[in-house]
């Protein structure tokens, strides 16, 4: 009985799609996921599992942008106004689930427009699926360099790729050395990177830049996935006195490094960690976090602007008003919002629901958002936006590099226990 | 690698630093390992969730400290709550697998570990947490060697706790009953010992010990819902190497393991710090097998 019903349903569906197809009546492809006046975007993203917090940050960004695009008049296609909405599945922070659920979104829910998952690992699993079905995906949370070396056609990323994360710290160390009458090639660098795709990309970027300046690495440790102790590495730092210490090991790396740097009373003039904000270094260590440099995709003090959100600062205010549970806006949210803006822009320019036309429209994107300029390379990564470096000064994250965007001066050198002799100059 | 060895030979003061860090943290490993040996010896259940009990204790301590209690003082309420939790888990899970074959109890505690990890992840989130003891750092040798007060305090606490446990096992009725049950459960039952109660008490005691270890870890290192496994592995390595019912062995192995981790981290790099632990386990197992083989040959 049940089987019979299913068979009839399939037959009906086939008949309808054949009718639509032959008649050429619809502007929509047979199954495009547009319900009434709503365009459904889909995403398999971390709601539970180890990336649940970052996944939430990203979703909050997606949702806020969807809300704002809808409030500002939605997306007009062929004279009709459409609203956006996002259908989510929980990928449990595992790449295999991401791929499975994307298949479900595409095959069962007929979603044709995809927003990325959180993390490079899950994005790596999502890419082959969207390529197989030729469904465009705009992702905002997978920064691994390896995502853009596979020749994927349907994946686009609004964020800067991971090798750019700490490279700016190397450039800054060179700048400071030259200012102090030293040679950039004399700078000694201590590196500690987690053995995961993201951190190894960051490391590759740092190494590239070090080579450019002729710098030497005095320590090159790889951190384990379940890192909770860096005292051995820090003892080496104490013995070898590097000029720059760079660490990338997600929040556990930033937390452990900050704590043990202070506990062991080690003063390194320049210290740069990824994930300072998500590790809440200021909240956890207070003064002990002073002077640490943190790369970020985005900062609310940057002078970017767009018609939906206004300036970066206005986005910041709106986000905090919508989500009072956040103290600061995570960059994951900002880039999530930017991805939705790119989708909206692509729909407007393509004036179509056809996935191929949309893909071409996305590829041709050249727009300014509150998050920064967006322009995709042939590989699909955003080549228009630089990474910025912020320093923790009196508990605030202030942009100090690149000098072009800096709102504050660098506090140098960082002393043992945090902070510098000078006060932050506003 | 050799350049790192050169640092140690040129400035032996750093050896002191590594030894201090290793021995002081090793004491905390000893706690978890002793708990594991206790349960293993008495109930023959190999608790794969051992490390997750440690993490849970840490999270409980973190929660209590958020209510204004100093983190170090949270060991008391945490030990009490973890004891109760251990009792509940014993009644719900462990007593159903205690008489079964080895594989069943391994599966049950493995499942328990997964449930605990996911539970902690749901409640506390996946980000690492730390509790701040607010204690100072002492410097020796012109600031070249540093020791944090919290590490020293936890070392002393671990020592006191071990002493209390030894006295408890030797002197108290329950301690004697536990030892009797470990030696021969059937004979103990014949002598009128309520072995069911002994099992439950042993498991709960282990849970409380892990809780205390967790609180100390939360102030020295970090907490993360999925980090329990690292402590489980360490505890297994220590107990396997030291043997059951050998407290001095457990302590020496734990302090040694802590130090070896530090030296391998320094010389080979942080990536090998924990790998060394697993390699050690392998070496211990091979060595034991060789010993047994020789023993067998002698018998033949």
The span from the CA of B170 to the CA of B177, in Å, is 10
Q: Establish whether this prediction's ipTM goes over 0.85.
A: yes
B43: exposed, middle or buried (Cβ count in 10 Å: 0-12, 13-18, 19+): buried
Residue A17 confidence (pLDDT): 46
Instruction: Name which CATH class applies to B2-299.
Output: mainly alpha
Does A252 contact chain B (CB < 8 Å)? yes
Is B44 part of the contact surface with chain A (CB cutoff 8 Å)? no
pLDDT of residue A10: 54
How high is the mean pLDDT of chain A? 88
| Per-residue pLDDT tens digits for A241-292 | 999 999 999 889 999 999 999 999 999 999 999 998 888 899 888 899 999 9
Task: Return the structure tokens found at A404.
Answer: 């072009």
Contact A336, A60 (CB under 8 A): yes
Whether residue A232 and residue B266 make contact (CB cut-off 8 A), yes or no, is yes
Residues pairing with A305 in the sheet = A311
Q: Which fold has domain A164-296+388-401?
A: Rossmann fold (3.40.50)
Which residues of B are less than 8 Å from A223 in CB distance?
Answer: 270-271
Asked if A255's CB is within 8 angstroms of B273's CB, the reply is: no
Contacts of A264 in chain B (CB under 8 A): 137, 146
A373-412 residue pLDDT tens? 999 999 999 988 888 899 999 999 999 987 777 889 999 8
Q: Which of residues 344-383 of A touch B (CB under 8 A)?
A: none
Q: Could you say which residues of chain B have pLDDT below 50?
A: none
Of A52, A265, A279, the CB nearest to B143: A265
B247 with B30: CB under 8 angstroms? no
Chain B neighbors of A256, CB-CB under 8 A: 128, 221-222
pLDDT of chain A, 426 residues: tens digit per residue: 455 455 555 555 544 444 444 433 334 444 456 888 999 999 999 998 888 889 999 999 999 999 999 999 999 999 999 999 999 999 999 999 999 999 999 999 999 999 999 988 999 999 999 999 999 999 999 988 889 989 999 999 999 988 889 988 999 999 999 999 999 999 999 999 998 888 998 999 999 999 999 999 999 999 988 888 999 999 999 999 999 999 999 889 999 999 999 999 999 999 999 998 888 899 888 899 999 999 988 888 888 899 999 999 999 999 999 999 998 898 899 999 999 999 999 999 999 999 999 999 999 999 999 999 999 999 999 988 888 899 999 999 999 987 777 889 999 899 887 654 333 332
Tokens of B290: 């060789």
Cβ count within 10 A of residue B278: 13
Model pTM score: 0.78
Domain map of chain A by residue range?
30-160+302-375, 164-296+388-401
Question: Which pLDDT belongs to residue A9?
Answer: 54
Query: In Å, how far is A26's CA from the nearest CA of chain B?
Result: 46
**Could you tell me the residue ranges of all domains in chain B?**
2-299
Looking up tokens 């043992």 gives A416
Q: A309: distance to nearest CA of chain B, Å?
A: 30
Give the CATH H-level superfamily of domain A30-160+302-375: Response regulator (3.40.50.2300)
Q: Is A325 on the interface with B (CB under 8 A)?
A: no
Domain A30-160+302-375 matches domain A164-296+388-401 at the CATH topology level: yes
Give the pLDDT confidence score for residue A71 in this predicted structure.
95
B224 part of contact set with chain A, CB < 8 Å: yes
DSSP A94-163: -HHHHHHHHHHHHHTS---EEE--SSHHHHHHHHHHHHHHT--EEESS---GGGGSS--SSEEE-SPPGG
List of chain B residues whose C-beta atoms are within 8 Å of the C-beta of residue A258: none
Q: Which phi and psi (to 5°) does residue B252 adopt?
A: -65, -45
- Predicted pLDDT at A21: 42
What's the gap in Å between the CA of B285 and the closest CA on chain A?
Answer: 24
Q: Taking a contact as any Cβ pair under 8 Å apart, which residues of chain A between 113 and 152 contact chain B?
A: none
Contact A229 B17 (CB under 8 A): no
Q: Any CB–CB contact under 8 A between B122 and chain A?
A: yes
Question: Which residues of A are less than 8 Å from B137 in CB distance?
Answer: 262-265
Structural contact between residues A419 and A292, judged by C-beta atoms closer than 8 angstroms: no
Q: How far is B256 from chain A (nearest CA, A)?
A: 15
> Given an 8 Å threshold on Cβ–Cβ distance, is A235 in contact with B266?
yes
Establish if A94 touches chain B: CB-CB under 8 angstroms: no
- Rounded distance, CA B229 to CA B107, Å? 15
Q: How far is B225 from chain A (nearest CA, A)?
A: 9
């Amino acid at each position: 009985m049940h089987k019979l019903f299913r068979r009839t349903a399939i037959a009906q569906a086939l008949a309808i799609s054949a009718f639509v197809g032959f008649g050429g009546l619809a502007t929509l492809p047979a199954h495009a996921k547009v319900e009434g006046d709503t365009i459904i975007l889909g995403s398999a993203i971390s709601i539970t599992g180890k990336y649940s917090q970052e996944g939430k940050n990203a979703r909050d960004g997606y949702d806020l942008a969807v809300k704002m695009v809808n409030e500002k008049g939605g997306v007009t296609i062929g004279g009709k106004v459409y609203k956006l909405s996002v259908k989510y599945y929980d990928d449990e922070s595992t790449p295999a689930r991401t791929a499975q659920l994307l298949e479900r979104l595409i095959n069962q829910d007929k979603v044709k427009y995809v927003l990325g998952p959180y993390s490079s690992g899950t994005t790596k699993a999502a890419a082959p699926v969207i390529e197989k079905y030729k469904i465009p995906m705009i992702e905002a949370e997978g920064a691994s360099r390896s995502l853009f070396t596979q020749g994927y056609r349907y994946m686009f990323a609004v964020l800067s790729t991971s090798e750019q994360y700490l490279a700016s710290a190397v450039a800054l160390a060179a700048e400071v050395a030259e200012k102090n009458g030293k040679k950039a090639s004399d700078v000694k660098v201590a590196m500690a990177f987690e053995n995961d795709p993201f951190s190894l990309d960051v490391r590759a970027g740092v190494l590239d830049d070090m080579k450019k300046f002729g710098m030497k690495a005095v320590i090159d440790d790889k951190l384990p996935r379940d890192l909770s102790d860096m005292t051995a590495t820090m003892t080496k730092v104490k013995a070898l006195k590097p000029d720059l210490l760079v660490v990338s090991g997600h929040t556990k790396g930033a937390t452990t490094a900050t704590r043990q740097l202070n506990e062991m009373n080690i003063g390194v003039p320049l210290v740069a960690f990824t994930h300072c904000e998500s590790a809440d270094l200021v909240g956890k260590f207070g003064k002990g976090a002073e002077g640490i440099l943190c790369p970020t995709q985005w900062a609310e003090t940057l002078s970017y602007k767009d018609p939906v959100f206004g300036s970066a600062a206005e986005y910041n205010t709106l986000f905090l008003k919508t989500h009072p549970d956040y103290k600061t806006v995570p960059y994951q949210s900002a880039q999530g919002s930017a991805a939705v803006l790119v989708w909206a822009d692509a729909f407007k320019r393509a004036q179509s629901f056809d996935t191929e036309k949309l893909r071409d429209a996305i590829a041709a994107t050249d727009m300014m958002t509150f998050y920064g300029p967006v322009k995709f390379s042939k590989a699909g990564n955003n080549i228009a936006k630089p990474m910025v470096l912020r320093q923790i000064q009196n508990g605030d994250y202030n942009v100090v590099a690149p000098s072009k965007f800096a709102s504050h001066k660098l506090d140098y050198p960082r002393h043992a226990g945090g902070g510098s002799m000078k006060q932050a100059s506003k | 690698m050799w350049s790192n060895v050169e640092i140690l030979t040129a400035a032996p003061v750093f050896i002191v630093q590594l030894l201090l860090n290793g021995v002081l943290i090793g004491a905390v490993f000893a706690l978890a390992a002793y708990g594991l040996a206790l349960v293993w010896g008495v109930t023959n259940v190999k608790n794969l969730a051992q490390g997750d009990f440690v993490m849970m204790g840490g999270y409980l301590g973190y929660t209590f400290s958020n209510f204004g209690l100093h983190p170090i003082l949270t060991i008391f309420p945490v030990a009490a709550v973890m004891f109760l939790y251990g009792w509940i888990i014993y009644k719900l899970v462990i007593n159903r697998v205690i008489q079964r074959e080895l594989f069943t109890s391994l599966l049950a505690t493995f499942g328990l570990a997964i449930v605990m990890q996911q539970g902690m992840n749901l409640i506390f989130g996946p980000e690492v947490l730390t509790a701040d003891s607010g204690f100072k750092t002492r410097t020796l040798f012109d600031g070249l060697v540093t020791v944090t007060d919290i590490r020293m305090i936890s070392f002393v606490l671990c020592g006191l706790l071990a002493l209390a446990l030894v006295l408890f096992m030797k002197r108290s009725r329950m301690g004697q009953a536990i030892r009797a049950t470990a030696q021969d459960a059937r004979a103990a039952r014949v002598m009128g010992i309520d072995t069911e109660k002994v099992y439950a008490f042993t498991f709960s005691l282990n849970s409380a010990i892990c809780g205390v270890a967790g609180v100390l870890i939360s102030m020295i290192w970090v907490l993360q819902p999925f980090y329990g496994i690292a402590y489980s592995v360490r505890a297994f390595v220590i107990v396997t190497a030291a043997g059951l019912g050998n407290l001095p062995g457990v302590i020496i192995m734990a302090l040694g393991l802590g130090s070896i981790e530090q030296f391998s981290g320094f010389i080979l790099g942080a990536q090998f710090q924990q790998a060394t632990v697993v390699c050690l386990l392998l070496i211990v197992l091979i060595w034991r097998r060789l010993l047994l083989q020789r023993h067998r040959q002698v018998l033949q």
